[in-house]
Amino acid sequence: MQKNIVLTGITPSGTPHLGNYVGAIKPAIDFAKNKDLICYYFIADYHSLIKVWDAELRKQYTREIATTWLSLGLDQNLDNILFYKQSDIPQIMELNWILSTMASKGILNRAHAYKSLVNKNIKNNESDRDKSITMGLFNYPILMAADILLFDAKHIPVGKDQVQHIEIARDIASRLNHVYKKNILTLPEAKIDKMSATILGLDGRKMSKSYKNTIPIYSTEKKLRKSIMKIITNSQLPDEKKDPNNSTVFTIYQNFASDVEINTLKEKYLAGGMGWGDAKQILYEKINNELIGFREKYEHYQANPQLIDDIMNEHGVKARHIASQNISKIRNLIGI
Ligand code: TRP
């Protein structure tokens, strides 16, 4: 039986934060523990070109992501995992062009990211509704389809915002299969169960880089504590009974604690007598405990960046080998 292939990409456009940990990294590491799955995880550095225009920053984000994933327990020695950089796989670019000849422009016109920029231009009464929109942004879903279809991936763990992109990849794949009369490309499916997990940020909105309300995964204990102490609460006094369902501190705690621990904290909220400082201290200790081993590994990799480069290079070679076999089949099919 052919093993199911899970594939997902991470765009290097920011420093990894706890929202990424809960929504993407943790579930991805868990998938990789299932030996019946083959997992391809990659850093989508070409995708980042549409929004990060600083070369040094791109390198920094790329290294931080690689270091974070490996330090959090993605085991590079497991033989069902590949963890590579998109730019190390030139075949993705080759497939990108082939797929663009199968992609319907009408569907891309309706892609959310593009449409929202067009709507903004219309709202601002711009005479050109495509003002400041690059072809990179417009073609983004085709490149994503190439990432996925090149590796025959079936399950694509993504957040809800990416589901439309997976639909577009399916559409492109079935068109190519139909035109060249062979089911050569696997139709991918979005897997959003665990990936849709979100965590609240310091201000009680969804944790997101764009809201500037994130807690970085890597920081010192002191800084971690300081940011947790900044979580916004109401002004209830320590004696007062508190509503756990209306508390950012409690909600974030649920992302990390066991059911028993969650219940214990809930009772403390309902009983009264616990100040916000105490609740935050409990949350800090929980998160900090989860990150102690991670922090040491992260610092080790930081002190030896060559280790990260070596792992990415080694996995790049393996992924390239598979990519080159798969692209040959496609070239053959289309007569090139
Ligand atoms: N666009 C995805 C994001 O921003 C990242 C990504 C690039 C991706 N290529 C992919 C995700 C392929 C899944 C599959 O989150």
Handedness of CA 181, 185, 186, 191 (dihedral sign): negative
Which of 156, 158, 198, 208 maximizes ligand 1 atoms within 8 Å of its Cβ, making it the mutation to test the pocket?
158
Q: Indicate if ligand 1 lies below 6 Å from the C-beta of 152.
A: no
Helix (H) / strand (E) containing 163:
helix 163-179
Q: What are phi and psi of 74, to 5 degrees?
A: -70, 120
Protein residue with its CA nearest to atom 7 in ligand 1: 9
What pLDDT is recorded for position 192?
86
Which of 5, 17, 40, 47 maximizes ligand 1 atoms within 8 Å of its Cβ, making it the mutation to test the pocket?
47
- CB-based burial of residue 128 (10 Å sphere; 0-12 exposed, 13-18 middle, 19+ buried)? exposed
pTM recorded for the entire structure = 0.94
Q: Indicate if ligand 1 lies below 6 Å from the C-beta of 24.
A: no
Residues for the chain: how many in total? 336
Across the range 46-53, mean pLDDT stands at 97
Across the range 104-120, mean pLDDT stands at 97
Closest ligand 1 atom to 153 CA: 14
What pLDDT is recorded for position 200?
95
The 10s digit of each residue's pLDDT in 75-86 is 999 999 999 999
Q: Indicate if ligand 1 lies below 6 Å from the C-beta of 147.
A: yes
Distance CA 318, CA 325 (A): 11
Contacts of 49 (CB under 8 A, 6+ apart): 58, 136
Q: Indicate if ligand 1 lies below 6 Å from the C-beta of 47.
A: yes
Across the range 304-313, mean pLDDT stands at 97
Distance CA 194, CA 199 (A): 12
Q: Indicate if ligand 1 lies below 6 Å from the C-beta of 71.
A: no
Task: Report CA(334)–ligand 1 centroid distance (Å).
Answer: 26
Q: Where are the beta strands (DSSP E) in the chain?
A: 4-10, 37-43, 81-85, 155-157, 189-191
Strands, sheet with 4-10, edge to edge from the N-terminal-most edge strand: 81-85, 37-43, 4-10, 155-157, 189-191
Which of 140, 165, 208 maximizes ligand 1 atoms within 8 Å of its Cβ, making it the mutation to test the pocket?
165
Which of 11, 89, 154, 168 maximizes ligand 1 atoms within 8 Å of its Cβ, making it the mutation to test the pocket?
11
For the chain, what is the mean pLDDT?
Answer: 96
Distance CA 60, CA 56 (A): 6
pLDDT band at residue 193 under the 50/70/90 scheme? confident
What pLDDT is recorded for position 273?
96
Protein residue with its CA nearest to atom 11 in ligand 1: 9
The DSSP letter of residue 183 is: -
The 10s digit of each residue's pLDDT in 145-168 is 999 999 999 999 998 889 999 999
Q: Indicate if ligand 1 lies below 6 Å from the C-beta of 326.
A: no
pLDDT band at residue 198 under the 50/70/90 scheme? confident
Q: Indicate if ligand 1 lies below 6 Å from the C-beta of 14.
A: no
Q: Is the pLDDT of residue 194 over 80?
A: no
- CB-based burial of residue 235 (10 Å sphere; 0-12 exposed, 13-18 middle, 19+ buried)? exposed
What pLDDT is recorded for position 15?
96
pLDDT band at residue 1 under the 50/70/90 scheme? low
Q: Indicate if ligand 1 lies below 6 Å from the C-beta of 17.
A: no
The 10s digit of each residue's pLDDT in 240-282 is 999 999 999 999 999 999 999 999 999 999 999 999 999 999 9
Where do the H-state alpha helices sit in 196-304?
221-229, 248-254, 259-271, 276-303
Q: Is 127 helix (H, G, I), strand (E, B) or coil?
A: coil
* 280 CA to centre of own chain: 27
- With CA atoms as reference, report the closest residue to 320 among 88, 80, 46: 88
Task: Report CA(242)–ligand 1 centroid distance (Å).
Answer: 40
